[in-house]
Amino acid sequence: MTTTPSNSVTTTPSNSVTTTPSNSDTTTESNEGTMTTTPSNSVTTTPSKSDTTTPSNSDTTTESNEGTMTTTPSNSDTTTTTANSDTTTTANSDTTTAANSDTTTAANSDTTTAANSDTTTTANSDTTTTANSDTTTTANSDTTTTANSDTTTAANSDTTTPANSDTTTAANSDTTTATNSDTTTAANSDTTTPANSDTTTAANSDTTTTVNSETTTTANSDTTTAVNSDTTTTVNSETTTTAAANSDTTTTANSDTTTTANSDTTTTANSDTTTANSDTTTAANSDTTTTVNSETTTTANSDTTTTANSDTTTTVNSETTTTANSDTTTTANSDTTTTANSDTTTTAANSDTTTPANSDTTTPANSGTTTDTNSGTTATNSGTSGTNQGSTTTGSNSGTDPNSNPGTRTDANTDTATTTTTTNSDTTTTNRNTGNSNTAAGSSANSGSEGESTTAPEGGSTGANSNTATGSTTADPDGTTTTGVDPNMNENDVTYVFTRTKHFYRITLPAAVAGVVLLVLLMICLRPNSLFCTLMSGK
């Protein structure tokens, strides 16, 4: 295992570079009208439109679309910089850690969260893990963020997952996301980011889980950020997968990073965040590979998929799955189960949610995160699948071909538009937890000319129209007789049978009847003393 030593190489001292002054609050107003308040004297502060940099031997600066900068130190690790976006970047959503801040996980870096300090992401934000969903903390379980959640990966922004970086969920720590609850940030607390170490959440630190939007921390599960690969998630664009090693993960672009909204911030003075000889390691040498040939679509009210040989999907009204040989699943309207020797206390909204200290949350090392390769995200709300330990959560969603009209249409003239609905069913394996199935009731039909078949994109549907005459054409050996049915007739039309000879055409059935009628009329008119004869003779 890779352990984050106490007194680690790269240390952010208390009252460090990005610090909110003592006895004052910095309030960041998000696009949704909520506010993020960062307590004073907090070492690791997410400033509004500012840069949070963990210093190291050298800095690589990446400029975001919003004019702010993300500084990624070499051989250092977690750098958070915002560009009007957030760590969980949302498009028209309230997700995420700091408002207007960026979270970058540096390559070969570690993140240590202060011990005995409370980090709370508060309410009226949809950092949801999901709206109206329960937090599931499970060992060897699947983490799926799903359903009615406003957590969207940044619109028109790129999310890059750093190479060679480890993400570790602290042992003996609790993770808390508060809704209208109290956010406590340790004042004068030290955040130690060791170089070439693992990202560790300090022991004895409290995390609050929100009511009506619960966060899931998995024990014995790995949340691995891609090693030696970049994962880019965009809205209204396709996911770009790059192979750059030691690259920066930057999430930007006009998304709402709302830490708090109407929440209380408590400053704990002189609390040190130190990881002393505690081994909380997320997979050392665990590979998270971003798939090639898989489409990642991030849209509002659609599916955002981040894959690395596995699909991590953040969606609205859909399923988001993060796998790493064990998944932590947070589902909408589901129950909260906390396991793995950690205590999670969830309270009602507008109340304080506190998780007891000294609870152990251990993430095993050397576990990989793998999801399906070559799986596409198409049309609307398709699920992301991962195969791991435990029970099975199946999310199925129907794709709709955006270029066709739904339904099955039957015309007079026997034109039938055949609608085929293709359902992309994804299976996520979890431990002890079964998520909700989110099925979009979409269907599509593709119209085509006679005999033409149209195939929808991957994950959509295939529809075919055929306009075929229902009769047969048969020629006599001498080619004199042809029979068939008018392909454009209505069901109440008369069916005529034509017989063609070499010299004349003869219409049978109705013609015979008409001929008899005409003959009778002619005989009536031509009999002696008839009106017709009288008129013709002029008498």
Q: What is the pLDDT of residues 144-175, one digit of tens each?
A: 544 444 444 444 444 444 444 444 444 444 44
Mean of the per-residue pLDDT values of the chain? 44
DSSP 395-438: EEEE---TTSB-S-EE-GGG-EEE----EEEEEEEESS------
Between residues 115 and 64, the one the model is more confident about: 115
Assess contact for 195 and 9: CB atoms under 8 A.
Answer: yes
How many angstroms separate the CA atoms of 109 and 244, rounded? Answer: 16
Between residues 528 and 275, the one the model is more confident about: 528
Mean pLDDT (whole number) for 328-354: 41
Cα→Cα distances 451→448, 468, 484, Å: 8, 7, 18
Mean pLDDT (whole number) for 306-322: 43
pLDDT in tens, 206-251: 444 444 444 444 444 444 444 444 444 444 433 344 443 444 444 4
Q: Which residue has the tokens 């002890």?
A: 432
- Give the strand pairing for 264-268 and 303-307: unpaired
SS3 call for 525: helix
How many angstroms separate the CA atoms of 52 and 72, rounded? Answer: 10
What is the number of other CB atoms lying within 10 angstroms of the CB of residue 26?
19
- The per-residue pLDDT for 509 is 64
Which residues have C-beta within 8 Å of that of residue 25, sequence separation ≥ 6? 37, 38, 39, 40, 265
pLDDT in tens, 504-518: 445 556 777 888 999
Which residues have C-beta within 8 Å of that of residue 115, sequence separation ≥ 6? 173, 202, 203, 204, 205, 271, 272, 273, 274, 275
Assess contact for 399 and 459: CB atoms under 8 A.
Answer: yes
